[in-house]
Amino acid sequence: MFAKVKRLFFIVLVNIAILGFGIVSLELIFGGWLNSQWLARLNLIRDATITYDITGLYESTNNTVLYTRDVHGLRGSFNDPSEINILTVGGSTTDQRYINDGETWQAVMQQEFEAMGKEIVVANAGVDGQSTFGHIKNFEWWFPHIPNLKPQFILFYIGLNDFYKDAEYKYDGLETKEKRTIRHIFRENSALYYFSRTLRNAYGAMFVLGIGHSSVNFADIEWTEKPLQTGYDEIMAARLKAYAKRLTILVNKTKQLGSIPIFVTQPYRKYRFINGTVQGIAEKSLYENVEINGVDYYHLMKKLDAVTLDNCQQNGEVCIDMAKDTLWENEDFYDFTHMTPKGARKVGVYLVDKLKDVK
């Protein structure tokens, strides 16, 4: 009996040792313990041209689009980072993975400037799923490692992803003056932690929050003018306070790079304006443990956008409240969040009109 227990104990120890060796090997190879795998942790695609099938996503003469990222992880038409005048930062609505290279709103901006006789290069540093937490890390892990990158402006196209990030969300020891703990060090360097976080965030975006890429038939949407909530300040209080702090960090980091910040608020198709009246989707969802519909979303998002604009104006930066405009149509979106080439063109033309006289 004792021999069997001893043998079983030995087998367990061997398996634990093998498992431990495997985990350590994976961490040393793919983690940041021996080197800085910062760019990998930002989910960057680099030095690649990918063909995406957009069948069923939106109407197009072609069923595929080309998505190109250069060796530095940027999209755009330029030869060297030193040529970039405007660097755009944001999440998937900036990245525009399912919009052809020459049809993103950044490409439209560059084309519009060129038509005016201005050589303005607009580069795309959008990262799918990134919020201001990730944007801050870009200034530590990404932008300093792009040679000759000194844009005159950095344009932040933000709001939607931060609407869904918790007020106390931690992104690898974000900008803290406190002494780094073992937990912070583990989060910054562990490959397994990074992998699990990526899966968790992807699942949350696609299945819980519903902000992944999909096609929405707006003709089937039921709209309402009646909100479900009224206490929007109370619902958003903690989130807005934390968000304001992150905006200040972004302003400071942009200026440290020698650039001028531009903040742009984002439109969303869970609400619309009909004859000056806001209508929202009637479908209910849970937000901060309360039920909301599209009208509530509009009022909540206005609170977040107000913080963006207030912070921007206090710092004397360039502020563009694109979310308030009513020029958007169903055909501009292929889902509630992401735009079709038609919508991207509207964004590009709109932004050039707002920025054409900015020095």
For residue 26, is pLDDT > 50? yes
The domain locations on the chain are 1-30, 37-355
Q: What integer pLDDT is reported at residue 129 of this predicted model?
A: 86
Confidence band, pLDDT 50/70/90 cuts, at residue 316: confident
Q: What integer pLDDT is reported at residue 193 of this predicted model?
A: 61
Q: What integer pLDDT is reported at residue 325 of this predicted model?
A: 85
For residue 121, is pLDDT > 60? yes
CATH of 37-355, one of 3.30.1450.10, 4.10.320.10, 3.40.50.1110, 3.20.20.70: 3.40.50.1110
Q: What integer pLDDT is reported at residue 327 of this predicted model?
A: 85
For residue 209, is pLDDT > 60? no
Does 103 or 33 have the greater pLDDT score?
A: 103
Mean pLDDT, the chain, rounded, equals 86
Q: What is the mean pLDDT of residues 77-100?
A: 97
Q: What is the mean pLDDT of residues 58-82?
A: 96
For residue 211, is pLDDT > 80? no
For residue 112, is pLDDT > 70? yes
pLDDT tens digits, 326-358: 789 999 999 999 999 999 999 999 999 999 998
Please state which of the ranges 11-15, 237-241, 244-248 shows the lowest mean pLDDT: 11-15
For residue 60, is pLDDT > 80? yes
Does 314 or 164 have the greater pLDDT score?
A: 314
Q: In three state form, how does the secondary structure of the chain look?
A: CHHHHHHHHHHHHHHHHHHHHHHHHHHHHHCCCCCCCHHHHCCCCCCEEEEEECCCCCCCCCCEEEEEECCCCCECCCCCHHHCCEEEEECHHHHCCCCCHHHCHHHHHHHHHHHCCCCCCEEECCCCCCCHHHHHHHHHHCHHHCCCCCCCEEEEEECHHHHHCCCCCCCCCCCCCCCCCHHHHHHHHCHHHHHHHHHHHHHHHHHHCCCCCCCCCHHHCCEECCCCCCCHHHHHHHHHHHHHHHHHHHHHHHHHCCCEEEEEECCCCCEEEECCEEEEECCCEEECCEEECHHHHHHHHHHHHHHHHHHHHHCCCEEECHHHCCCCCHHHECCCCCECHHHHHHHHHHHHHHHCCCC
Q: What integer pLDDT is reported at residue 21 of this predicted model?
A: 73
pLDDT tens digits, 249-301: 999 999 999 999 999 999 999 999 999 999 999 999 999 999 999 999 999 99
